[in-house]
Amino acid sequence: MLKRFSLKKYLRMVGISARDFFTFEQNASGRRKRKEVLVLAGIFCVLLVSALVIGISDNIPGLILCYLATVTLVVAPVRGWRRTKKFLILLGTSVLAFFVFVVLHNAFYALTMVTSHIAALSHLMEALSAASFIIAVLLCPAIFLVGIAGSIICTIKSHHATFKA
């Protein structure tokens, strides 16, 4: 039976996940977590630098490296999740966020045109428009991919454990 979605519980879960991501225990699992974060940060940096060196403007290998770097950035906080429900919530959030940031990009672009006579405000709207575009085009598809892959893997593991028992 499906439970009702609660934004308060979801935000609490995200806060707990963020707190667990940035705190390291002094035992062996804490050291392993620290190593995982450092390895993922290193992979992210290598992929991002190589994408920038190759170039991402109309260059498919550079864009693929940039998307892989973004996926690595998304995998870092969710690497410990073991429940399908969390990944499905992440998947739904990415779809919703994509549409929200597309609308925000267009709104900020329109505000850039309206405020073109005020230099500081026009530049602020231009920066917000670019940030919304990057989030919609780079981050949301990466979150979508991680949500799909994580939910499929968790579902397969739970069915495998059910059949094994």
Per-residue pLDDT tens digits of the chain, which is 165 residues long: 456 767 677 667 666 665 665 555 555 556 667 788 888 889 999 999 999 999 888 889 989 999 999 999 898 888 888 888 999 999 999 999 999 999 999 999 999 999 989 889 999 999 999 999 999 999 999 999 999 999 999 999 888 777 765
CA dist., res. 57 & res. 136, Å (int): 17
Tokens of 9: 């519980």
CA dist., res. 90 & res. 147, Å (int): 6
Residue 125: exposure state from Cβ atoms within 10 A (0-12, 13-18, ≥19): buried
Tokens of 81: 């999740």
Tokens of 10: 């979801």
Residue 91 amino acid letter: L
CA dist., res. 91 & res. 39, Å (int): 25
